[in-house]
Amino acid sequence: MFETLVKAFVYGLEIYAGLGLTFALPFVWFGVQRVDSEAQGSGVGFRLLILPGVVALWPMFLYRWMRRLDEPPVERNPHRILAKP
């Protein structure tokens, strides 16, 4: 029973990683500059550096890419709230 559950979990992780890699390759080469303006003109080294993170967090990047959100949201914390005039 436990072995079956562990196998299902591992297969689920493999599917998630496979989907992430399938999404990450086109996103890193074409979509990253649309989501983050600071990434425009970046080189191959930067794109290879962000590839593992995009594979791991691909649902968030897919959402942002499909919604055509330009910049990351501004963090809301007590320091920023008090600093606003």
pLDDT tens-digit profile of 2-52?
A: 999 999 999 999 999 999 999 999 999 988 888 877 888 888 999 999 999
pLDDT score, position 31: 86
Report which of 27, 15, 29, 14 is spatially closest to residue 63, judged by C-alpha positions.
27
pLDDT score, position 70: 66
Cβ-defined contacts of 72-78 (< 8 Å, 24+): 72/36
Q: How confident is the model at residue 69 (pLDDT cuts 50, 70, 90)?
A: low
Please state, as a whole number, how many other Cβ atoms lie within 10 Å of the Cβ of residue 55: 21
Statement: the pTM of the whole predicted model exceeds 0.75: no
Q: How confident is the model at residue 62 (pLDDT cuts 50, 70, 90)?
A: very high
Structure letter (DSSP) for residue 75: P
